[in-house]
Chains A and B, each alone.
Chain A
Amino acid sequence: KQEVTQIPAALSVPEGENLVLNCSFTDSAIYNLQWFRQDPGKGLTSLLLIQSSQREQTSGRLNASLDKSSGRSTLYIAASQPGDSATYLCAVRVFGNEKLTFGTGTRLTIIP
C-alpha cells in the first residue's frame, strides 16, 4: 500500500527566503507525482505535475524534483512571498490506477 509523507508538517520562514518542502513515498512504481496548494477552506490548485520519466518541473518561482529510486520529491520555492502562505500537498499516482494518494501536507507561513 502506497504511503505518502510530508515533512515538516508546518514551516514558517521570513519573506524573501528560499525554501524546500519534502515529500516521500513508499512505492517507487509511480506513474506521476503532483504538487498542490490549498488555501484555507478552498479546493486544491495544481502547481506542478512530474511524470515518472522526468526529474524536475519548473513553473515561475517553483521547482519540483523527483527521485523515484529513493521515493522522494521536493518542492523548491524561491524568493518566498506572503501570498505563498498555504498548505502544500503532494500526491502520487501508480501505474494502472487513476487514484491519487495524498501526503499529509505542509502548512507554510511566510512572515512579512
Chain B
Amino acid sequence: GAVVSQHPSRVICKSGTSVKIECRSLDFQATTMFWYRQFPKQSLMLMATSNEGSKATYEQGVEKDKFLINHASLTLSTLTVTSAHPEDSSFYICSASKEGTGTEAFFGQGTRLTVV
C-alpha cells in the first residue's frame, strides 16, 4: 500500500505556544489530505479537508484560526495548532488517498500532542 508519513509522533509543548505537525505522502501525490482528531477510546473525528493550492475546508465546530492548515505541495500538508491549551491535547492523524486505488485511504502514524 501507499505510505503516509506523519511527524512528529509525539510532542509536548507549553500553553500558549504553537505546534506544527507534518503529513507527507511518500510515494504518491495527494491533491487532498484529511486531518482527524481522536480522543481516548473514541473514534476519529474529521477536522478539516486540506486542498493543495487552496484553502482548507473545516468541519463544523472546528476553529480555522486555531488549527491552521497549509497544503503547499502535492506531497505535504501541515497542521499548526496555534496558542495551544491543555484541552488541545489529543491524538491527531492525517490521511491521503492515492488515485487509482479506488480511493483507498492511507493514514499517517499519528501525533500525540500534550499541552502542559
Chain A interface residues toward B at CB < 8 A? 31-32, 34, 36, 41-46, 49, 51, 89, 91, 93, 98-100, 102-105
Which residue of A is nearest B97, CB measured? A98
Inter-chain contact A100/B105, CB cutoff 8 Å = yes
Q: Is the CB of A98 within 8 A of B49?
A: yes
Q: Contact at B44–A42, with CB atoms within 8 Å?
A: no
User: Which chain A residue shows the least CB distance to B112?
Assistant: A41
| C-alpha spacing A36/B1, complex, angstroms | 13
**B contact patch SS:** strand
Q: Which 5 A-B pairs have the closest CB atoms?
A: A44-B107, A43-B109, A43-B110, A49-B104, A43-B107
Interface residues of B in 62-116 (CB under 8 A from A): 91, 93, 95, 97, 101-110, 112
Given A43-B109, A43-B110, A89-B44, 11 additional A-B pairs, CB 8 A: A32-B103, A43-B108, A44-B95, A46-B106, A98-B49, A99-B34, A99-B46, A100-B95, A102-B44, A104-B42, A105-B43
Q: How far is the CA of A105 from the CA of B41 in the complex (A)?
A: 9
Given A46-B104, A93-B103, A98-B97, A103 contacting B43 (CB threshold 8 A): yes
Q: Which residues of B contact A100 (CB under 8 A)?
A: 34, 46, 95, 105
* B103 and A31 contacting across the interface, CB-CB below 8 Å: yes
Instruction: State A32–B104 Cα separation when bound (angstroms).
Output: 9
